[in-house]
Amino acid sequence: MKNLLIITILALFACTFAEQAKDEELYSRAVIESCPGCSLNRLPEVRKFIYDDVPKYNNVEFKKIHGAKPELVLYDDTDTEVSRIKLEQLTRKECNQLLASKGFQVKENNKIEL
């Protein structure tokens, strides 16, 4: 009976640890993909984030794709695409918070002014 209890506790611990590790997944780089004009002109907050803030981050770049709606594309350390997140409904502040929540940091001697 004690062995069954110990095994159950260890299994619960392993599941909890695996979920935490998944939530804390690290990304090696990010790319913001978006049309540089048409759709971005209708999203002034996202436009300001892309042109003013993105260049200040380590390992984050802007890739111009004509006709594309703005998305954050996350890559792991093997350069495999892991996730895509739409940015069109976010404010500039929320876009910056999103990058920070994914582990991206502002380059040294840079500051994000919101």
pLDDT score, position 7: 59
The full set of domain ranges for the chain reads 29-101
pLDDT band at 3 (very low <50, low <70, confident <90, very high): low
Which uninterrupted H or E stretch holds 5? helix 2-23
Task: Specify the CATH number for 29-101; select among 3.40.30.50, 1.10.760.10, 3.10.20.30, 3.30.540.10.
Answer: 3.40.30.50
Q: How many CB atoms lie within 10 A of CB 55?
A: 12
Taking residues 96-104, what's their average pLDDT?
Answer: 96
Per-residue pLDDT reduced to its tens digit, 40-94 = 899 999 999 999 999 999 999 999 999 999 999 999 999 999 999 999 999 999 9
Total residue count of the chain as it appears in this document: 114
* Six-digit token string for 47: 């436009």
What pLDDT sits at residue 21?
Answer: 43
Sheet holding 71-75, edge to edge: 60-64, 29-34, 71-75, 81-86
| pLDDT of 16 higher than 90 | no
